[in-house]
Structure 1
Amino acid sequence: MNHHYDVIIVGARVAGASLAILLGEMGKKVLLVDKASFPSDTLSTHFMSHTGFLEKLGVLEKLEDSGLRKVTRMRTYIGSSFVEGPRTSYTIIPRRDKLDSMLIERALTFPSVHFKPETAARELIWEGDKVVGVTLIEHGEPQGVFGNLVVGADGKNSNLAYWTGAEKYEETKPLRPVIYGYFEGIEPLPEPATEIFLHEGRIGFVFPMEPNRDCLGIEIHPEEFKTMMKNPEESFKQTFNQMYGMKERMKGARLQGKMIGTPGMPNFFRTAYGDGWALIGDAGHSKDPSTGLGINDAFMQSFLLADACLKIDEGISKEEAMKEFARKRDEQLLPGFQMTLHYVQSLRKWTDNEVALFQSMAANPMVWNKLVPNLSRHLENDAADFPLLHTAMQMEAEQFGFKKES
């Protein structure tokens, strides 16, 4: 028996599950499918710059009640110096098995939303040049399901993008490998803070997730990846011990599970939609994880696509609404994309001048907190002399939300 839905969503992680919530609120008949079982982990930056999307999706309170720490500060290290400041809002940093499952549970509170885990999409169903459905494999059996819109939220290697021939643009090859893991026993800071280490051209980070659980990661030089992955836990600890203060703080550290590594994330935009289909999340846009924008970007795309569906219901033509979805997606994502590429491509050992300037600002936090939010005014003329410092401060101003002192 063939079934018809308003929207079929392939991929039930952050992008797909959040879209299902928004469409469920609208009363849309939605089929959400994923080849994975849940709860389960997936490769992720984990970081969210704010909690606004989680609140709108109705999962913030439940996530907070699960024991996640509220992160209210940001600390940046260069060599033996660091600066720390309050964020404009707090954030929480959940593991993906917890976040994705809660989003799915929230979507299923709407009777019009249906979910099929451990179900793979095999191929699209076409009528001429229009996508009208998808063939699914459930328990080894093929089944055709039909919908007014088929959405690919199936990641950077999206099958749906491949089947539709969605073109890539603004493409840059993967730039930097990343290795990360979950640790217990890390000596905490007095107050939870996102910690970023800029050391010898690498980026280290500590994300405080739950009491006695932190996500530690390093974005490394490309030539280091194969060697480090031969003995990832030991290599990771040796490298992370070089970060300011971490050798002492990691003495009692114990890895939970295995180290996770990737040789790099591709950087691109894909065509956002076509006749009967659309792409969201990493399927439509992917970039290096160093700036931690991925989860927020996925949420943003879901909200934009849901808004397009609402406009279609209100009488705006489908083509006009989807064209606006694509335009807004690129308009909102391009600045962060360009900043991320510039940030990663500029990474190297800091010059003596940059270290000296950073240390002088670190010695006076009031100067730092005034300088970061007004980066373009203060450092515009010095960007050529201090390129890495310029980019690092831009990232903090735009992503991590330092408070501006009056």
Structure 2
Amino acid sequence: MDDHYDVIIVGARVAGSSLAILLGQIGKKVLLIDKADFPSDTLSTHYMSHTEFLNELGVLDRLEQSGLRKVRRMRTYIGASFVEGPRSSYTIIPKRDQLDYVLIEKAKEYPNVTVMPRSPARGLLWEGNKVTGVRIDKGSNVFHVHSDLVVGADGKNSNIAHWVNAEKYKQTDPVRPVLYGYYEGIQPLSEPTTEIFLHEGRIGFLFPMEEGRDCLGLEIHPEEFKNMMKDPEKKFEEIYQQHYGMEKRMESARLQGKIIGTPGMPNFFREAYGKGWALVGDAGHSKDPSTGLGINDAFMQSFYLVEAVRQVDHGHDWAEAMASFVKKRDEQLLPGFQLTLDYIQSLRMWTTNEVALFQSIAANPMAWNKLAPNIGKHLAEDTKDFPLLHTVVEMEAEQFGFKKE
């Protein structure tokens, strides 16, 4: 193993592997390390708002050829009513063991990128107050490897962030526990559709993956989590079958593996750079998975960071280029961050009037067609007195790809 690289990336999943691909494309000498082996699964939102990033990274065709369904529609249920519409583009929803592995294999195609799984970072190397490398544990040996830049892509509990004392801001504690599992044999709709169920203050998700396999998710009330984890499969399915039509659709369903749960995801931004270091992905920004923006956000951060690296190569000041990276990151992520917090904090039992308004929208497709493409104007007109419905419709518009006026 060489002892000096242009960039060492700690964390080889979506954020880290996409960054390695982009840096490999511009000729940087990159070391990509992770404590895990691959392919392997991880806690995830699964949902990708769009596929443009996958295409630019050169992995879209490879993922599509694996049999993933193209999802072009989205449906939200309240009780027995729902609103549904086409997305502005399709998406695919792979398992993370598949997505991460494909990205890593793509990164390895670049001769200047070295990938080392099963190699946890044990600490940083410093010269004064500047990070100059990483101590890497490989088997029974610990190596000191130097670099011009160390990037933490090691998740919400990032060691890199901890070691450099990166401060959090706009921080909100976890709000809602999240559970999900992979199921086969669920009766499908006529066309692959992302489905969201709003019922008794909980959120249910159904993500079509490959033919015959779906990811089912639940966000539940905080006080329910401890009891659910005593018998997660039974209690998960009991709640999920309460959603519209799901008792019948789950008659032949079988869980693949086990139900995965967490008490909740923290919500924050982190200081994203300093002398010799930077953060991307959940290490730099984390939020509740209910709006399904996490993977998309991680890709975006990698593209922005590479743009800053290119600016430095062309003579721009390091601090100025990195400040621009953070400014762009926060400007792009803050609206979705606030939308997510509004969404999960507003969810509760629906009032009779809110249900009636939702049913009127569901019964009149023209009303929904009017509402979604002109979200800024019509939200104010149609839902200003219904904050929960207001937030739900705004979230729908975000997922459909519509923009506020």
Normalising TM by the smaller chain, what interval? over 0.9
1:230 counterpart SS class: coil
Aligned ranges 1:35-54 → 2 under 5 Å = 35-54=35-54
Q: What displacement does 1:385 show?
A: 1.9
Q: Which moved more, 1:319-328 or 1:167-176?
A: 319-328
Aligned ranges 1:228-247 → 2 under 5 Å = 228-247=228-247
Aligned equivalent of 1:318: 318
Counterpart of 2:305 in structure 1: which amino acid?
A: L
Given that residues 86 and 402 in structure 1 are in contact (C-alpha distance below 8 angstroms), is that contact kept between their aligned partners in structure 2? no
In 2, Cα distance between equivalents of 1:148 and 1:383: 52
Aligned equivalent of 1:255: 255
Aligned equivalent of 1:70: 70
Q: What displacement does 1:159 show?
A: 0.3
Q: What displacement does 1:140 show?
A: 2.1
1:323 counterpart SS class: helix
Given that residues 24 and 113 in structure 1 are in contact (C-alpha distance below 8 angstroms), is that contact kept between their aligned partners in structure 2? yes
Q: Does 1:4 align with 2:4?
A: yes
In 2, Cα distance between equivalents of 1:336 and 1:212: 31
In 2, Cα distance between equivalents of 1:304 and 1:375: 28
Aligned residues between the structures: 404
Q: Which moved more, 1:138-147 or 1:376-385?
A: 376-385
2:36 counterpart SS class: coil
Aligned equivalent of 2:225: 225
Aligned equivalent of 1:286: 286
Aligned equivalent of 1:123: 123
Aligned equivalent of 1:386: 386
Aligned equivalent of 2:266: 266
In 2, Cα distance between equivalents of 1:403 and 1:65: 31
Q: What displacement does 1:379 show?
A: 2.4
Q: What displacement does 1:375 show?
A: 2.4
Aligned equivalent of 1:276: 276
Aligned equivalent of 1:33: 33
Aligned ranges 1:99-114 → 2 under 5 Å = 99-114=99-114
Q: Which moved more, 1:358-367 or 1:93-102?
A: 358-367
Give the direction of change, closer, same or farther, for the CA distance of 1:294–1:403 in structure 2 (3 Å limit): closer
In 2, Cα distance between equivalents of 1:87 and 1:376: 18
TM-score by length of 2: 0.98
Aligned ranges 1:97-246 → 2 under 5 Å = 97-246=97-246
In 1, Cα distance between equivalents of 2:387 and 2:268: 24
Given that residues 375 and 403 in structure 2 are in contact (C-alpha distance below 8 angstroms), is that contact kept between their aligned partners in structure 1? no
Q: What displacement does 1:317 show?
A: 1.1
Given that residues 270 and 283 in structure 1 are in contact (C-alpha distance below 8 angstroms), is that contact kept between their aligned partners in structure 2? yes
Given that residues 287 and 337 in structure 1 are in contact (C-alpha distance below 8 angstroms), is that contact kept between their aligned partners in structure 2? yes
Given that residues 123 and 163 in structure 1 are in contact (C-alpha distance below 8 angstroms), is that contact kept between their aligned partners in structure 2? yes
In 1, Cα distance between equivalents of 2:256 and 2:369: 36
| 1:153-195 per-position Cα deviation (integer Å, ceiling 9, x unaligned) | 0000000000000000000000000110000000000000000
Counterpart of 1:360 in structure 2: which amino acid?
A: S
Runs of 4+ in structure 1 off by over 4 angstroms are: 381-384
In 2, Cα distance between equivalents of 1:158 and 1:13: 13
Given that residues 194 and 208 in structure 1 are in contact (C-alpha distance below 8 angstroms), is that contact kept between their aligned partners in structure 2? yes
Q: Does 1:300 align with 2:300?
A: yes
In 1, Cα distance between equivalents of 2:342 and 2:185: 35
Counterpart of 2:302 in structure 1: which amino acid?
A: S
Q: What displacement does 1:364 show?
A: 1.1
TM-score by length of 1: 0.98
* Percent pairwise identity: 71
In 2, Cα distance between equivalents of 1:252 and 1:229: 23
Give the direction of change, closer, same or farther, for the CA distance of 1:367–1:383 in structure 2 (3 Å limit): closer
In 2, Cα distance between equivalents of 1:208 and 1:262: 22
Q: What displacement does 1:402 show?
A: 6.0
Given that residues 282 and 298 in structure 1 are in contact (C-alpha distance below 8 angstroms), is that contact kept between their aligned partners in structure 2? yes
Aligned equivalent of 2:96: 96
Q: What displacement does 1:319 show?
A: 1.1
Given that residues 87 and 399 in structure 2 are in contact (C-alpha distance below 8 angstroms), is that contact kept between their aligned partners in structure 1? no
Aligned equivalent of 2:396: 396
Q: RMSD value over aligned CA atoms?
A: 1.2
Aligned equivalent of 2:371: 371
List alignment gaps of at least 5 residues for structure 1.
none
Q: What displacement does 1:384 show?
A: 4.8
Given that residues 200 and 349 in structure 1 are in contact (C-alpha distance below 8 angstroms), is that contact kept between their aligned partners in structure 2? yes
